[in-house]
Structure 1
Amino acid sequence: MRGLRLGLVTSLSLVTATGLSAASAQRLRMSGDVAPKRLYQRLLAQLSDSGGPRVDYQVGRPASGRLGLTAQRVDLGVSDSPMRPEDMAKVKQGVVQIPVVGEAIAIAYNKPGCDLKLSQEQLVLLAMGEITNWERFGCASGPIAWIHPADASSATLALTQSMQLFSTQWTLGVDNIVLWPGRNAVAVRSIAGVAERLTQQEGSMGYLPGSAMQDSLRAAAVQNRKGEFVLPSPAAGAAALNAIALDFNLAGFAPNPVAEGAYPITRLSWLLAYRSGNRESTEAVQAVITFLLSDQAQREAAGYGWIPLRGLILETARAAVAKIAI
C-alpha cells in the first residue's frame, strides 16, 4: 500500500505541475449506478486525501449518470453504456464521453467438482433452456438453475450482444432485459441478488459482471472466436477491449472479438462530462478523469473486478480529457 500511495502522490504532483492545483479546492458531484460505487469511492477518496478535489458519488438507477448530466444535476456521470447521439444533442453544453475501465461478464456457477468449459453454441443453448443438466458438461448429474436479473441490466445487454454472434440459434434479440424461456430460469432482483442466489444455491449458474463476482463462485471458461477456452481475467478482458474500434463519441463494443486470448463477453464503462460550461470546475473535472486514467488507478481497478484499459484505447481516453473546456 505504501508504494501505491507514493504513486498516487506522484500522479497528483504531475497534475499540479500542469497548472491544475486550483482543482483541489473544488467539490464535485458524480452520479452513477451502484456497481461502480466501490471502485470510484475508493479511488476518489485517495485522490482527495492526496490533495485533489473532493467528489460526492451519488448512487442511482443504472441510467442515473446519463440522466444526471442531461438534467445538469451533476458534474460527472458514470455510465455502463454509451450515450446515444440524439441524447447527447439534448445537452446544450455538449458531452465528452470517456471510457475509464472495462468489465468482463462472467458465466458464474456453483457446482463443486465441476471444471466448466462452454463453447459458444453450448452457452446459447444453456441460456435458452435447451441444456438443463450438468451431465452435458461432464459434471455430476443434476439440474441446472439459470439465475438471472429480473430488472434491466447492462450485463444482460452485453451478454445478449455476444450471444447474437455466438450462434444462429439465438432468437432472443439484444436488450438489457430478457424473458428467459427455460423452465429452469429463476429471476431475482438485481445483479447483487443474482450473486447472492448463486452463492447460496448449489447447481446454479448465471451471469455476473466482474465487479459482482464472489470468491465462493467459479467462472466458466468460454470459447472465443479463435477456439480458445478463456477465463474472464484482466489480461483476457484487455485483449477484448483493445479490439474495440471507438467511434467519434468514443463509444464502441466488441461483442465477440477475434483477438487471440480475448474473453468474448466484455463491456466498457464511461465517464460523462460537459464539453463546455464547466466554469470554475473545469480543472477539477479534468484532474479527476486524468487521475482515474492514471497507471496507478488503472492497476487498482483490477482488484475490484474491473479491467484496466491498455494500449490505444487508454491513449485515446487520456487525449479526450483536453476536450473538456471552460
Structure 2
Amino acid sequence: MKKSFLYAVVIAVAALTLSSTSFANEKVRLIGSGASFPAPIYLSWFKSLNKANPNLIVDYQSKGSGAGVQDFLNKTVDFAASDSAMKKEDMDKVPEGVQLLPMTAGEIIVTYNLPGNPAGLKLPRDVYPDIFLGKITRWNDPKIVAANPDIKLPNMPITVVVRADSSGTTAVFTKHLSAISAEFKNTLGEGNTVNWPATNQFIKSPKNDGITATVRQTPGAIGYIEYSFAKLAKIGSALLENKEGKFVAPGNSAETLAAIKIPADMIAWEPDPDGANSYPIVTYTWMIFRKNNDDKAKAKAMREMIEYCLTEGQKTADALGYIPLPQSVVEIVRKAAANIK
C-alpha cells in the first residue's frame, strides 16, 4: 500500500513538472480593446514585450473607451482600456470582480488649424468652454483677439471637431470643462458622450486619430485630442489658462500627476489642478482586468504584461508624449496587479 502510494505521488509530481514545463514554452495570446488615448504607447509596449518574450502576444484594438468596456462586459476580450475608468454599475455586472489599473497618463490638448499655422494661441478659461458650447463662433471674436495681440486672427468661422464615438477622452475633457464653467456643466455636462450643439459648426470624427486628421484637413477647425497625437502629428496645441491665470503649454505635467492621490479603487481625478505651472487637463488612463480568470495561463501572462509596462514601458512614456507614472504609483499598481488570478 505504501509503495503504490509513493508511486502515485511520483507520477503526480512528474505530471505537474511536465505541465509546468509545457506552460513555460506555450504561446499565450491576450486580446484587448478600448481607449484610443493610450493606443500609441500601448501598441509600442506590446510590440517590445513580444520581442522580449516571443511566447507572449498582445493584440490591442483601438476603438474608444466605451466600446472597450462593452467588449469587456461581453467577454470578447481579456482586458479593456478606458480613459474614463469604469462605472460602478458596469463593474457590478462582472461576477469575476474587476481590477482597474492606471497604466499611463497624459494631457488632453486643444488643437487648431489656422492660416499661417501660428504657434502659441492662448485660450482663456472663459473662452474655450464657450467655443465648445457653440457660443463663440468666429476666430476674430473679441475675447480671443484680446488674449492674442501678437497673432492676426482671421474673420473665419470656427469648426468644432468632437468625438463621434463613446470616448474616455471626451469624458475627461468635459469633466474639466464642467469644473471651470457652470454653464457647460448645466448645459452639456460630462460623460463619454454628450449632446453637442446640433449646428453646422460642429462635426464629429471617431477616435483621437480621427479628430487629429479632421482638424488638419479643415481650415478654421478646433478639436480636443491626447497630447501624444499632436506630438506625433506635429500639429499645434493651444496654451490653456489654468486656475492660477497662467497660460500653459502641455508636455510637463509629471509634478501635477504626482500630486493626485490614488484611492483603493484606483480611480483618481483632478479636473482642475492647482499650481502656477500646472497644465489644466491631466489624467490617468486605465487598463481593466477580471480578478478571477478561468484561464490561469492568461492570468499569469496579464501579470507579466503589467510588470513589463510598469518597468520597461515607463521608460518610453515621455518620448511618446505621455507622463511616466510616479514610482509611488508604480508600487501601488504592482501590488494591485496581484489580484489578477
TM-score band, normalised by shorter chain: 0.7 to 0.9
In the TM superposition, what whole-angstrom CA distance separates every residue of 1:276-305 from its partner, at most 9, and x where no partner exists?
2352333221110011111x3113133333
Tell me, yes or no, if the aligned pair for 2:28 and 2:297 is still in contact at 8 Å: no
Partner Cα distance (2:73, 2:249) in 1: 37
Counterpart residue type for residue 68 of structure 1: D
Tell me, yes or no, if the aligned pair for 1:26 and 1:284 is still in contact at 8 Å: no
In the TM superposition, what whole-angstrom CA distance separates every residue of 1:288-323 from its partner, at most 9, and x where no partner exists?
0011111x3113133333322224333322221222
Range that drifts further, 65-74 or 157-166? 65-74
Tell me, yes or no, if the aligned pair for 2:64 and 2:82 is still in contact at 8 Å: no
Partner Cα distance (2:99, 2:30) in 1: 16
Tell me, yes or no, if the aligned pair for 1:109 and 1:206 is still in contact at 8 Å: yes
The residue number in structure 1 matching 2:159 is: 145
The residue number in structure 2 matching 1:40 is: 42
The residue number in structure 2 matching 1:226 is: 244
Quote how far apart the aligned CAs of 1:199 are: 0.8
The residue number in structure 2 matching 1:172 is: 188
The residue number in structure 2 matching 1:91 is: 94
SS at match of 1:273: strand
SS at match of 2:48: helix
SS at match of 2:190: coil
Tell me, yes or no, if the aligned pair for 1:108 and 1:207 is still in contact at 8 Å: yes
Say whether residues 1:131 and 2:136 are aligned partners: yes
Counterpart residue type for residue 238 of structure 2: A
The residue number in structure 2 matching 1:239 is: 255
The residue number in structure 2 matching 1:200 is: 217
Tell me, yes or no, if the aligned pair for 1:31 and 1:76 is still in contact at 8 Å: yes
TM-score normalised per structure 1: 0.82
SS at match of 1:78: strand
Tell me, yes or no, if the aligned pair for 1:146 and 1:184 is still in contact at 8 Å: no
In the TM superposition, what whole-angstrom CA distance separates every residue of 1:91-126 from its partner, at most 9, and x where no partner exists?
222121110011211100112235211221111122
Partner Cα distance (1:61, 1:220) in 2: 24
Counterpart residue type for residue 286 of structure 1: R
CA separation of 1:222/1:97 partners in 2, compared to 1, >3 Å: closer, same or farther?
same
In the TM superposition, what whole-angstrom CA distance separates every residue of 1:7-45 from its partner, at most 9, and x where no partner exists?
xxxxxxxxxxxx9x9667341322213624443232112
Counterpart residue type for residue 319 of structure 1: K
Tell me, yes or no, if the aligned pair for 2:65 and 2:84 is still in contact at 8 Å: no
Identical residues among aligned pairs (%): 28
Alignment of 1:178-189 (within 5 A): 178-181=194-197, 185-189=201-205
Quote how far apart the aligned CAs of 1:244 are: 2.8
How many corresponding residue pairs?
303
Range that drifts further, 101-110 or 129-138? 129-138
Tell me, yes or no, if the aligned pair for 2:161 and 2:221 is still in contact at 8 Å: yes
The residue number in structure 2 matching 1:4 is: none
Partner Cα distance (2:47, 2:119) in 1: 40
CA separation of 1:268/1:172 partners in 2, compared to 1, >3 Å: closer, same or farther?
same
The residue number in structure 2 matching 1:288 is: 305
CA separation of 1:320/1:197 partners in 2, compared to 1, >3 Å: closer, same or farther?
same
Quote how far apart the aligned CAs of 1:60 are: 4.5
SS at match of 1:303: helix
Range that drifts further, 116-125 or 62-71? 62-71
Say whether residues 1:256 and 2:261 are aligned partners: no
Partner Cα distance (1:222, 1:282) in 2: 42
The residue number in structure 2 matching 1:101 is: 104
Tell me, yes or no, if the aligned pair for 2:161 and 2:205 is still in contact at 8 Å: no
Tell me, yes or no, if the aligned pair for 1:239 and 1:259 is still in contact at 8 Å: no
Tell me, yes or no, if the aligned pair for 1:104 and 1:232 is still in contact at 8 Å: yes
In the TM superposition, what whole-angstrom CA distance separates every residue of 1:56-94 from its partner, at most 9, and x where no partner exists?
224545334333333333332222221223322322221
Counterpart residue type for residue 241 of structure 2: Q
Structure 1 unaligned spans of 5+:
1-18
Equivalent in 155, 160, 163 of residue 174 of structure 2 = 160
Quote how far apart the aligned CAs of 1:184 are: 6.2
Counterpart residue type for residue 270 of structure 1: W
The residue number in structure 2 matching 1:30 is: 31
Counterpart residue type for residue 155 of structure 2: G
In the TM superposition, what whole-angstrom CA distance separates every residue of 1:173-200 from its partner, at most 9, and x where no partner exists?
1122334338562313213332112112
Equivalent in 80, 85, 98 of residue 82 of structure 1 = 85
Range that drifts further, 116-125 or 48-57? 48-57
Partner Cα distance (1:150, 1:324) in 2: 33
SS at match of 2:317: helix
Partner Cα distance (1:253, 1:98) in 2: 14
The residue number in structure 1 matching 2:69 is: 66
Counterpart residue type for residue 204 of structure 2: V
Counterpart residue type for residue 176 of structure 1: N
Say whether residues 1:306 and 2:322 are aligned partners: yes
Tell me, yes or no, if the aligned pair for 2:35 and 2:83 is still in contact at 8 Å: no
Tell me, yes or no, if the aligned pair for 2:66 and 2:192 is still in contact at 8 Å: no
Counterpart residue type for residue 117 of structure 1: K
TM-score normalised per structure 2: 0.79
